[in-house]
Amino acid sequence: MRLCDEVLAKMDRMQRDLEQVLATYDIIQPEVSTHVLYRERWTHPDRKAHFASVWGTLRSEKRWNIAFGGLVNHGPDTSTEEGSVLNLSFRRGIWEDWPRSLPHCARFRDIYPVICSPYCATLLHEAVIHALEQEYLKNSPLTPKIGSPFCHPELTLSDDPELPGLAGSMKFDDTGNPASQTQLIHRGCFLGDLSLGRGVMRRASYKSLPLVRTTNMVIHPGTSKPVDWLQSARDCYLIAWIESGKWLPGTQTIEIVTGPVFRIHKGEPTSFFPELKLRFQSLTFLKAFLEIGDDTRLDPLVHWCVKEKQGVPMHLLSPSLLVDNCFRRI
């Protein structure tokens, strides 16, 4: 179906606004890749919601890639472009100050602990969210753990459509049922699942059947200071972000593709992998948590959850995580 002129005008305005903001970064002469999303949902003849966002990456030979994202507020009158505001934010991390000339690392040693930045929430999206969805519960490795403590006592994770203005935010799901927060893990104890009746039915478009899906995944902050982890560990790795992940349904096996992974020795980076393809087992991973950071951040990028060839947008919020190394290189 052809997009109507009104929607095309909104997306064109979003692109122009993004270009104006990014023009201020010309000093680093970046290569820029961008995405623009405008999405409308009707859950009732008189009930309409919209979501607008831009995101992308600045690439430069002299600096580490900088991912950015922004939510677009078109003002109270969503039928016009007057008063639209683009609020842009960037992935930030300690690696920004590290030299781009670090040597490449050849060997991944699985004996060193791993620091996962706040942009690694995909790990738990794959390990927990999918395995607790309705149709996978019967054969899920997590189902026997519901109702019992299993993880780090500070680990709390929820699915939250009530957070305002994010990609998975909604008052009603795509079957018209009220949507509300579902706490899946509370202080290390598995509490529930994403099942029918919880207001989590979502679909990619009007052509798709609604499925049980996540909305916005939130890992709540702990009490540990991530800056201390680098100093206390003689050797460790730091994963800057996760590019993608895949859970093999009915198993514990998860595969991920990372962004840069830094080898740290006595608090300083010595080398890095541009990316790694890693495999891990979900229950082993959930038992491997050592510390939960106090630095929860919203990943500015819109993430996509794909299921039965349907992609729905979502946002991820997470603190830094320190885990025993349970990853194996593929």
Q: In what helix (H) or strand (E) does residue 186 lie, and over which residues does it extend? A: strand 182-186
Q: In this structure, are residues 23 and 34 in contact, taking their beta carbons and an 8 Å threshold?
A: no
Segment 171-227, tens digit of pLDDT: 999 988 899 999 999 999 999 889 877 788 999 988 899 999 999 999 999 999 999
69 has a pLDDT exceeding 70 = yes
pTM summary value = 0.92
Q: What b/e string do you get for 64-102 counting C-beta neighbours within 10 Å, with b at 16 or more? A: bbbbbbbbbebeeebeebeebebebbebebbbeebeeeb
In whole angstroms, how far apart are CA 68 and each of 35, 88, 273, 302? 10, 7, 22, 10
Q: For residue 5, with 0-12 CB atoms within 10 Å meaning exposed, 13-18 middle and 19 or more buried, which class applies?
A: exposed
Coil, strand or helix at 156: coil
Segment 128-173, tens digit of pLDDT: 999 999 989 888 999 999 998 999 999 999 999 999 999 999 999 9
- Structural domain boundaries of the chain? 5-90, 114-329
